[in-house]
């Protein structure tokens, strides 16, 4: 690309030497003052300065001449002339002028943000305590606000924030219709009072915002989960064979980690909020279910879910090695040789190496892709490793 640009510059510099006398063009180098009227797209590209210039289709025919050119690609322009001391544009400066989009995760709906209430608040129809009270919001309830509101840096100076409160409690699990909300105002903190607030000018929003922040901590906070974020929702099953068996042997309620280990996993994106402080996870059309409403503790981001799957794979690997070690020690206790034979220790070390390096990673990865529960991942790793143990050392 740089060689093509340099060739275009040399071609443009020699343009006026090849033009006839009667064309009325100056005999000096091309300049930006008449670059738009240059006879060819290449000459115009060089005259208009740095940047990408898209040439027009001039005339007909397939040959490229001073008056007709069939070029359809953009021509990169380099420095104006050697006398100015400029150098060709680098790739970094070219990318900066093109304004490539920044790398990193993109928010699908930056116009909205989800806030969590840290104190009970009333939702008013207007930004006044004398206005109609629409609904009472409790602690941990979720609301939506404008995405450009910076609560930590510059909260509203008067303490009032326009939000949307969810109206739906029971959702249709096989639907993708927009959620219903109710607009209103909440007082995230009372107006600042005191000598510092009185000394600040009425129109000084920065001073008023600082006074409000110092008066009391805000009653809302931005949640870690936001609109459009990819997550995995966990649903505790109402009935499970393992849970039913443990309930008969367990005195009292089962621990939370046992119920979570057999929870079903559904991936989707955060699409909004519903009542009782729950996030709405929207799944692709045709999925079963298409919508799930869960609270924040039951939602996992992809990185946390991958970490939990890795831990479950390591637990399964450790359990398989422990069971294999017990079986080998039992065989050695019965008289099998440790140095020679099928149950020798070199064969046992080879099985451990094979399961650790190949079998465990190849079985843990599909468990993450297929959305296996934590208990299912542990069982799969244990079963595959012991199946290989039986093939190698079984009689």
**Cα distance between residue 105 and residue 229, in whole Å:** 9
Total residues found in the chain within this entry? 395
Q: Are 165 and 143 in contact (CB under 8 A)?
A: yes
Q: Are 51 and 77 in contact (CB under 8 A)?
A: yes
Please name which of 51, 55, 35 lies closest in space to residue 88, comparing C-alpha atoms.
51
Q: How many Cβ atoms are within 10 Å of 36's Cβ, its own excluded? A: 9
Please enumerate, as own/partner, the contacts of 303-309 that have beta carbons within 8 Å and a separation of 24 or more.
Answer: 305/232, 305/265, 305/368, 306/368, 308/374, 309/364, 309/367, 309/368, 309/372, 309/374, 309/377
**Cα distance between residue 273 and residue 115, in whole Å:** 10
Q: What is the DSSP letter of 358?
A: I
Phi first, then psi, for residue 52 (nearest 5°) are: -100, 125
**Cα distance between residue 389 and residue 326, in whole Å:** 12
Q: How many Cβ atoms are within 10 Å of 232's Cβ, its own excluded? A: 19
Q: Are 236 and 263 in contact (CB under 8 A)?
A: yes
Residues in contact with 184: Cβ distance below 8 Å, sequence separation at least 6, in sequence order? 123, 124, 125, 134, 135, 162, 163, 164, 165
Residues in contact with 252: Cβ distance below 8 Å, sequence separation at least 6, in sequence order? none
pLDDT tens string, the chain, 395 residues long: the values are 777 777 777 776 665 454 444 444 444 443 333 344 444 444 444 444 444 333 333 343 443 433 333 333 333 443 433 344 444 444 455 444 444 444 444 444 558 899 999 999 999 999 888 889 999 999 999 999 988 888 888 888 888 999 999 999 998 888 888 999 999 999 987 544 444 444 444 445 544 444 444 445 788 999 999 999 999 999 998 888 888 888 888 887 888 888 899 999 999 999 999 999 999 999 998 888 999 999 999 999 999 999 999 999 999 999 999 999 999 999 899 888 888 888 889 899 999 999 999 999 999 999 999 999 999 999 999 999 999 999 888 76
Q: How many Cβ atoms are within 10 Å of 193's Cβ, its own excluded? A: 11
Please name which of 302, 294, 320, 300 lies closest in space to residue 377, comparing C-alpha atoms.
320
Pairing between strand 264-274 and 299-300?
unpaired
Please name which of 12, 78, 91, 82 lies closest in space to residue 50, comparing C-alpha atoms.
78
**Cα distance between residue 16 and residue 43, in whole Å:** 10
What's the whole-model pTM score?
A: 0.63
């Amino acid at each position: 690309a740089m060689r093509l640009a340099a060739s275009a510059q040399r071609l443009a510099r020699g343009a006026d030497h090849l033009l006839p006398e009667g064309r009325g063009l100056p005999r000096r180098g091309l300049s930006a003052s008449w670059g738009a009227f240059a006879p060819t797209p290449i000459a115009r590209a060089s005259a208009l300065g740095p940047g990408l210039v898209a040439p027009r289709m001039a005339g007909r025919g397939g040959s490229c001449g001073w008056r007709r050119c069939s070029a359809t690609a953009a021509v990169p322009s380099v420095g104006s002339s050697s006398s100015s001391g400029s150098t060709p544009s680098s790739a970094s400066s070219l990318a900066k002028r093109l304004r490539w989009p920044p790398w990193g995760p993109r928010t699908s709906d930056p116009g909205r943000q989800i806030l969590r209430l840290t104190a009970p608040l009333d939702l008013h129809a207007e930004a006044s305590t004398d206005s109609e009270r629409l609904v009472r919001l409790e602690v941990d309830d979720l609301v939506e606000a404008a995405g450009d509101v910076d609560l930590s840096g510059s909260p509203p100076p008067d303490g009032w924030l326009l939000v949307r409160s969810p109206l739906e409690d029971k959702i249709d699990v096989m639907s993708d219709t927009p959620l219903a909300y109710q607009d209103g105002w909440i007082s995230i903190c009372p107006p600042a009072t005191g000598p510092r607030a009185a000394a600040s000018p009425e129109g000084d929003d920065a001073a008023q915002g600082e006074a409000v922040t110092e008066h009391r901590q805000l009653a809302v906070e931005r949640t870690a989960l936001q609109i459009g974020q990819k997550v995995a929702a966990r649903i505790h099953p109402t009935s499970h064979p393992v849970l039913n068996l443990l309930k008969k042997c367990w005195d009292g309620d089962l621990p939370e980690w046992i119920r979570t280990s057999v929870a079903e996993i559904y991936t989707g994106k955060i699409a909004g909020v519903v009542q009782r402080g729950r996030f709405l996870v929207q799944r692709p059309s045709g999925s079963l279910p298409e919508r799930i409403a869960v609270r924040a503790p039951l939602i996992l981001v992809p990185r946390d879910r991958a970490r939990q799957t890795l831990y479950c794979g390591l637990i399964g690997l450790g359990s398989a090695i422990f069971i294999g070690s017990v079986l080998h020690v039992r065989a050695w206790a019965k008289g099998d040789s440790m140095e020679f034979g099928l149950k020798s220790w070199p064969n046992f070390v080879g099985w451990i190496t094979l399961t650790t390096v190949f079998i465990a990673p190849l079985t843990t990865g599909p468990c993450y892709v297929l959305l296996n529960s934590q208990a299912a991942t542990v069982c799969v790793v244990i079963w595959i490793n012991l199946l290989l143990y039986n093939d190698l050392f079984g009689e």
